[in-house]
Amino acid sequence: ISIIALLGAVALTGCGKKDDSSSEKAAASSSSASDSQDTTTEAATEETTEATTGEATNADDWKSCFTNKLLICKKDWQAEAETNQDESILPYFSIQDLDDDGTPELFISKGMASQYGVDIYRFENNQLVELGSYGAYGTVLYNEETGVLSWSNISQGNEITKGYLYKDGELEKIFSAEDYSKGEPVKEDSPIVNDFKFKIDGVSVSEEEYNTQLEKFITTYKTDYSVELGRSFEIDEAAIKEALAE
């Protein structure tokens, strides 16, 4: 099936980032100013879904939708890069079957800068459904044995670690760790000095507890033995054909 034929199977759609509200976004905005340094970009879109393409009509529906979405993303992002003279925009993608149902999920990366997460989509009812944007530096880690998606992002000395499991068509957060101890120093007389430096799942903890829980997460879910998703293939017609044929 040619790329032209695949494009004809679905309605064209744009590729802009969603600006959905979510409970985590609300929590992040109210917790502290340093939470804004979490540039993983997942806060605005996680725990939300949105149909992003029209219906496909052939036996390879998901391939049609994937192809259409990828080529539109490339077109939109290349135009943005040229307009803004932004060399950090380098569109790539990966595919991975997160639930072993025979239909993979789609991972699209806008670039490799810290602010770029990975837009993740699932295919359902002849259309793509957006799961949100996760990760940092254009990648997210995936452990095939444990099924966990994870990433760590360091920004201005602060380190954020997140972990998610794909369940019932959604990404469910199972872990978060926040280390603000290496960022801008906090005055010793500040009322937040003792409860601001380390957090596990949004709750302030001691440095010792933070390290214990982070190591437990890494060991339990084997995140050190993960593969990177988001930047397996550059977005072009030849690469799309190769990826969808695998």
Greatest alpha-carbon span in the chain: 67
- pLDDT confidence of residue 29: 39
Q: What pLDDT is attached to residue 188? A: 57
Q: What is the pLDDT of residues 32-73, one digit of tens each?
A: 434 433 444 443 334 334 444 444 445 468 999 999 999 999
Question: Which pLDDT does position 130 carry in this prediction?
Answer: 96
**b/e code 38-76 from CB counts within 10 Å (16+ = b):** bbbbbbbbbbbbeebbbebeeeebbbbbbbbbbbbbbee
pLDDT given for residue 154 in this prediction = 85
Per-residue pLDDT of 142-196, as tens digits, reads 999 999 999 999 877 789 999 999 999 999 999 999 998 876 655 555 555 545 6
DSSP 100: -
Least confidently predicted of 24-28, 83-87, 164-168: 24-28
In terms of pLDDT, which residue wins out, 224 or 49?
A: 224
Which pLDDT does position 183 carry in this prediction? 67
pLDDT the model gives residue 206: 93
Higher-confidence position of 25 and 246? 246
pLDDT at position 43? 38
Q: Give the residue from 76, 72, 74, 66 showing the smallest Cα distance to 9.
A: 66
The mean pLDDT value for 70-85 works out to 95
Contact (CB, 8 A) for 81 and 89? yes
CB 154 within 8 A of CB 177: no
- 73-100 average pLDDT score: 95
